[in-house]
Structure 1
Amino acid sequence: MLDILVVGGGYVGLSVAVAVKQSAPHLNIEVIEAAPERVWEKDERASAIIAAASKMLQVLKVWDEILPEAQPINRMIVTDSRTADPVRPIFLTFDGAVEEGQPFAHMIPNVAMVRALRGACERLGVTIRHGLSATGFNTTGSKTTITLADGSTIDTRLLVACDGVRSKLRDMAGIKTVTWSYGQSGIVTTVGHERPHEGTAEEHFLPSGPFAILPLTGNRSSLVWTERTADADRLVHSDDLVFEAELQRRFGHKLGEIRVAGSRKAFPLGLTLSRAFVAPRLALAGDAAHGIHPISGQGLNLGFKDVAALAETIVDADRLGLDIGALNVLERYQSWRRFDTFRMGVSTDVLNRLFSNDITPVRIARDFGLGLVDRMPGLKSYFIGQAAGTTGADRPKLLAGQAI
């Protein structure tokens, strides 16, 4: 029987396995993933990793491997305009350092992150098995039995669901969610440009939704382009000439000529918040527990916060000789994470509704608010600290760069 079975072989699931195994090497941990082997290598996306998450990855001994492919975000600018406006005035600027030599975030290719975490699993003796999906589970006493699609079963003391925003395990457990759609989709692609970005990230608030330009290594940037769903589908399936023309209208000309340097995909955007993060012998983490709008770039980082809190909960319980799958143990993790997650979900929802419109009185009010924040250094520092995850007295140890 396993001590922990993690379902989902993305960065959140792998990080849970590495974090727990590193601090409690005697625990028997496996990861199963429904996708075939090597599919993860085809992921062209990149993610923003906040300072607290990079500290955790340092403790997990994978950051040095990731760092050569990481692009620091040295500056963040925010504009609010219409698509056709010839000039986009900057209402808010954030310098990207939370402390000397420590930017508040890095952009990291997803492939680099998963590769490093898979390597750590191998070094620590965590088995990763592909092509396995759970079709059901049954909890009795001190164990949970998971039934797989091939009819085989696995027994474990604790089941960790990291199987995405449409989590089957969450549904099987009968955990309800608060869910709604924004009627928007996020177009994700990579572009190359003539001039260097100098580590500057840009968030352009447009009537259809935010258009984010996020710096990558070299003269490249990752885009998260929000459009109404029908328009996003049309753009993704349009020919290259139409797509690049629409892209240039939003991107602007400050970085010179641009070209699409990767595939383009659209993902529907909505809010999904689990009403509970735990059940007997089950814990939800990452998108299985919450899916939020990308307007703040915090989705993956919420998942890493789950990792840090869940790993510390499990390791502390194990050291005290407690049952790591018992509901009263797992409730510590839930109480640690649920309020922060709901707060972030509500914040991103309000921001998206506030900025994804072209109502003149609302535009005037929000631009006044952005300008006011820009003139208050203390408030800007507070927001940077919150975004970077470096503030708060109740942070899990991993997010403060400390081993569990």
Structure 2
Amino acid sequence: MTTETSDLLICGGGYVGLGVAVAVKTSAPDLSVTLIDAAPEGVWKKDPRSSAIAAAATRMLATLGVWDEIVPEAEPIRDMIVTDSRTSDPVRPTFLTFGGDVNPGEPFAHMIPNVAMVGPLRAKAEELGVKICQSAVADGLEIGPDKGIVTTADGRTFAAKLVVAADGVRSKLRDLAGIKHTRWDYGQSGIVATVAHERPHNGRAEEHFMPSGPFAILPLRNNRSSLVWTERTEDAERIVNGDDLVFEAELERRFGHHLGALTVEGARKAFPLGLTLAHDFVKPRFALAGDAAHGIHPIAGQGLNLGFRDVAALAETIVEAARLGLDIGSYSVLERYQVWRRFDTFQMGVTSDVLTRMFSNDFTPLRMVRDFGLSVVDRLPGLKTYFIKQAAGLASSDAPKLLRGEAI
């Protein structure tokens, strides 16, 4: 069987893999790009999840020419409230509120169904000439002096100057490359579902900290909300696998009645939650991006946005090296990407871990401390503004060009 050869080979057809393909091909059209995806054709259309996209990622998507296709399905987050209570509490006091704009008319984040984001990215990749191969399960990796070679379970072979692994938190390519990682399990699962309600949410996001973990209500179009509902894993399995009446009763206890009657739309699923951090992001001819490099708890809503930061930094590293005539797969080139991204990723991993441990318990003295801390932040406008800019991805002075809304 012949070998498919290109300048850049991306393994993983999610938003990160597609983002790298589109960003590189937009700015360096002469580079040949191949993307292989383990999933069969069309599976991405069945993804029930939605994601919070920070303002910096929105700027990148606009610069890449796909935001106009996404925006009809995007719901801006106009404000946010944070509470801390038990499920049985009759009242949930609000300890922290955030306004939704980082600049006039620019929300700090939008909620977008994953299908509405992946579809335009795929279409743009194909328009730019990216070769996409479905049902290609990476099964082997060989790193040579001038190329990386990936073989698939069905016997296909792909070679490139640079191989990018964007194949998820359980990345096989990361292990084949010999890159070690740290992982621990929180004993929690995140239940994901979409709920329709009779009253409008007015673009408000809600984060309710409960003893079992955060319960987030995130606004979607057409009087709907996306839930990220954290429970201990054994409880999450019981709730998800129970009948509809059990699920709706448990949901109503946590959601409340402020948006009226609730109707669950589509499937409900539970995903195990943990922290995964790769010890290295690059090797010669090889780079990690997205969840293959880092998987964090959704408590801060930054998992997808960390992946988009990888996209912007890696694409800029590759494109600028190519323009200078440098070898895009050399370690000296890829080290720039690693330096750019590793500290930010480590910092966000530690932050999400501390928040998870601090807010996923019912220890009274700790509850008093954290509620006092939230109340103090709520009374300091300057600190709130800083946190909003951090959440929007706009606090860093050395952010990649795409995240600033500039072409590479």
TM over 0.5: yes
- For 2:389, the equivalent position in structure 1 comes to 385
Matched, 1:51 2:74: no
Alignment of 1:238-253 (within 5 A): 238-253=242-257
| Structure 1 residue aligned with 2:156 | 152
The structure 2 residue matched to 1:185, chosen from 179, 183, 189, is 189
Matching residue of 1:20: 24
Q: CA offsets per residue over residues 62-112 of structure 1, 9 Å max, x none?
A: 000000000000001000000100100000000000000000000001001
- Identify which of 325, 328, 332 aligns with 1:321: 325
Deviation at 1:304, TM superposition (A): 0.0
Corresponding residue SS for 1:247: helix
How does 1:325-364 map onto structure 2 within 5 Å?
Answer: 325-364=329-368
Tell me which amino acid in the other structure corresponds to 1:97.
D
**CA distance in structure 1 between the aligned counterparts of 2:25 and 2:69, rounded to whole angstroms:** 19
Deviations 1:185-211 (A, max 9, x none): 000000010100000000000000000
Distance 2:359 2:275 in 1: 16
CA distance in 1, matches of 2:31, 2:393: 29
1:132 Cα deviation after fit: 0.6
Deviation at 1:267, TM superposition (A): 0.3
Amino acid aligned to 1:144: G
Equivalent-residue separation in structure 2 for 1:298 and 1:13 (angstroms): 17
Once the two structures are superposed, the pairs formed by residues 56-67 of structure 1 within 5 Å of their partners are 56-67=60-71
Measure, in 2, the Cα distance between the counterparts of 1:154 and 1:128: 12
Normalising by structure 2, what TM-score? 0.98
Per-residue CA shift, 1:283-335, capped at 9, x if unaligned?
A: 00000000000001100000000000000000110011100000111010000
Find the counterpart in structure 2 of residue 217 from structure 1.
Answer: 221
Q: Distance in 2 between matches of 1:190 and 1:383?
A: 27
Match of 1:266 in 2: 270
Letter in 2 for 1:301: N
Give the whole-Å Cα distance in 2 for the aligned partners of 1:115 and 1:268.
Answer: 26
Q: 1:141 & 1:387 partners in 2: Cα distance?
A: 40
User: Given residue 232 of structure 1, which amino acid in structure 2 is its aligned partner?
Assistant: A
1:309 maps to a residue whose letter is A
Distance in 2 of aligned mates of 1:278 and 1:67: 34
Residues 242-321 of structure 1 mapped to structure 2, 5 A cutoff: 242-321=246-325
* Aligned: 1:91 with 2:95: yes
**Which stretches in structure 1 are left out of the alignment for 5+ residues?**
none
SS for the counterpart of 1:264 is strand
C-alpha separation between the residues in 1 aligned to 2:156 and 2:271? 33
Q: Secondary structure at the match of 1:9?
A: coil
Distance of 1:371 and 1:99 partners within structure 2: 24
Residue 152 of structure 1, CA deviation: 2.4
Separation in 1, partners of 2:396, 2:118: 28
Partner of 1:370: 374
The aligned residue for residue 79 of structure 2 is 75
For residue 15 of structure 1, what is the amino acid of its counterpart? G
* Equivalent position of 2:110 in the other structure: 106
| 4+ residue segments displaced more than 2 Å | none
CA shift, 1:146, in A, is 1.3
SS in 1 for 2:250: helix
**Structure 2 equivalent of residue 194 of structure 1:** 198
Match in the other structure for 2:42: 38
Aligned equivalents of 1:153, 1:37: Cα separation in 2: 19
Deviations 1:312-363 (A, max 9, x none): 0001100111000001110100000000000000000000100111111100
Shift in Å, 1:147: 1.3
Amino acid at match of 1:307: V
Say which is worse superposed, 149-158 or 15-24, in terms of deviation: 149-158
Deviations 1:228-255 (A, max 9, x none): 0000000000011111001000001100
Q: Distance in 2 between matches of 1:205 and 1:218?
A: 26
Q: Does 1:7 align with 2:20?
A: no
Moved more, 334-343 or 127-136: 127-136
Q: TM-score, normalised by structure 1?
A: 0.99
Q: Secondary structure at the match of 2:375?
A: helix
* Paired residues, number: 404
Match of 1:36, SS state, is: coil
1:133 to partner: Cα distance: 1.1
**Partners of 2:141 and 2:261 in 1: CA distance:** 54
**How far, CA to CA, are the matches of 2:91 and 2:397 in structure 1?**
42
Match of 1:161 in 2: 165
- After superposition, the CA RMSD in angstroms is 0.6
> Comparing 258-267 with 202-211, which one deviates more in the overlay?
258-267
